[in-house]
Amino acid sequence: MMAIENTLFFKEVSAETLHKYPHLDKYMGLRERIQLREQDKFLRFQLKDFSLLAANFENFLPQVSREEYKEIYMNILVGRALLNEETQNPRLIDELDIPNLEAAVSPGALPAVFCTYHLGSYRSIIGILGKLGIDFALIVDANTHKNQGERIRQQVARFHEAYNKQASFEMLNAESPNSAMELAKCLRDGKSIVVYIDGNTGNGGIHHKSEQFHLRVPFLGKEINSRKGVAAISWLSKRPIIPVISHYVPGELRPKVHFLDRIDPLQWAGNPKDFIPETTRSLYGILEHYLVQYYDQWETWLYLHKYLPEDQKVCERQIPAPASGPEALRFSFNANEFELFKMDEADHYLFDKRSYATYPIGEDLFYGLHEVRDLDWAAMQTAGFKWPFTLQLIEKGILLTY
């Protein structure tokens, strides 16, 4: 099991940091607004996203204390909102800490496949390439292409204008059936590409699990489905992959962007058919390394379950019936393995964090389960529970007895 370091990055921000980075003047107000919004959602049990994040931590990084989940959830939401503030100010690129940048983009290295992740200040790479005047294409999913495309184009244009660069930029839909040919053409034309491997879209989208497009890779002690495209386009074009990963320095909110050592298919000494799976595993290994410390900066916790193969989900529970009658027992809702949430005021759900199954339940049962915290049988009866049904809940692991 991986050892982790607790460095939640939004715990405090120094006055010196707020003075140095102008966009952070909005930080405190931004965080306060998001906190108020989410507190209201928690009070109304609008907890679907939080429940999924909690399940993903339980299944992939159980070393993290459950007491941290709410703060992690908040940090991810604030971090995502902070990205929008960062991209409004092109000159913030000058304040980034970017180790190894010159070596990564040295003559002969480009065009390249910049493989990056939804960690930290993950849009900084767009500004960095814009500042340097590097021709590139950004690969995004269909939703981003449709709803954010124009805004992203305007952001890149602002970077080009701020640094007086004449460079080309385009955005490609990863879910287009022609995406592979478009990517190959970009590289042939001398244009680099930027792709987020942990977004896991691609031809057919995230739900396309065929071996033609996806493979299974080890990740945090489990396996997930990953697209082959990043390594495949590198191999076919014989252009290098440059892994890029970002994180905020705890307590400073100063983004650090690492341009890591190139993975060059021309220098691959192994079996050619192993390049794609081995390289893909290596790229996820990089992410694992940084998640150990910066786990509260990874947006993909909100949807990691979408890439989990069905056979990796734990479904079976074999809970024997209690040996004694209900009068001798105390009861608690199994909050370690289940969550309760509402989609709106009329829809109530029980969510299994092990199998990711969601069950619609009635309003009375929803609020009843929520109140089952160390109750005796008399209190359970007062809450409306009858023994045959309660026994079913025990055998399914929804209620704990002791």
| CA–CA dist 52, 76 (Å, integer) | 13
Q: State how far the alpha carbon of 41 is from the alpha carbons of 29, 38, 53, 100, 290, in Å.
A: 19, 5, 15, 43, 31
* Residue 210, CA distances (Å) to 175, 196, 216, 309 in order: 14, 20, 11, 12
Q: Are 43 and 277 in contact (CB under 8 A)?
A: no
Q: Does domain 326-401 have CATH number 1.10.3050?
A: no
13-44 pLDDT, tens digit each = 566 665 666 556 666 778 889 999 999 999 99
Mean pLDDT of 39-63: 96
Cis peptide upstream of residue 107 (ω within 30 degrees of 0): no
Give pLDDT, residue 212.
55
**Mean pLDDT, to the nearest integer, of 93-115?**
92
Q: What is the CATH number of domain 84-308?
A: 3.40.1130
Across residues 96-107, what is the average pLDDT? 90
Highest mean pLDDT out of 168-177, 317-326, 330-339: 330-339
Query: What confidence tens digit (pLDDT) does each residue in 242-300 have?
Result: 999 999 987 777 789 999 999 999 999 888 899 999 999 999 999 999 999 999 999 99
Average pLDDT over residues 75-83: 90
Residue predicted with more confidence, 361 or 203: 361
- Please give the pLDDT value at position 204: 44
Average pLDDT over every residue of 88-112: 89
pLDDT score for 81: 87
Tell me what pLDDT residue 188 has.
96
Taking the mean position of all CA atoms in its chain, how far away is CA 236? 28
Would you say 86 and 159 are in contact if contact means Cβ atoms under 8 Å apart? no
Residue 271 to residue 278: CA distance in whole angstroms: 10
Question: What b-and-e string marks burial along 62-97, b requiring 16 or more CB atoms within 10 Å of the CB?
Answer: eebeeeebeebbbbbbbbeebbebbbeebebbeebe
Cα 158 to Cα 125, 127, 212, 294, 401: the distances in Å are 14, 9, 39, 30, 61
Residues 6+ apart with CB under 8 A from 247: 9, 119, 120, 121, 255, 256, 290, 293, 294, 297
pLDDT at position 357 is 94
**For residue 5, what pLDDT is reported?**
57
> Rounded to two decimals, what is the model's pTM?
0.89
Domain ranges of the chain: 84-308, 326-401
Higher pLDDT, 85 or 111: 111
Looking from the CA of 27 toward its CB, the CA atoms found within 13 Å total 23
Centre a 10 Å sphere on the Cβ of residue 55 and count the other Cβ atoms it contains. Answer: 24
**Closest to 398 measured CA to CA, from 315, 327, 321, 332:** 332
Mean pLDDT value of segment 113-131: 96
Q: What is the pLDDT of residue 3?
A: 60
Same fold, 84-308 and 326-401: no
DSSP conformational letter for 169 = E
Q: Identify the pLDDT of residue 137.
A: 97
Region 180-200: mean pLDDT is 92
State residue 206's pLDDT score. 47
Reported as a single tens digit per residue, the pLDDT across 148-170 is 889 999 999 999 999 999 999 99
* 55 pLDDT above the threshold of 80: yes
Residues for the chain: how many in total?
402
Q: How confident is the model at residue 203 (pLDDT cuts 50, 70, 90)?
A: very low
Q: What is the pLDDT of residue 175?
A: 87
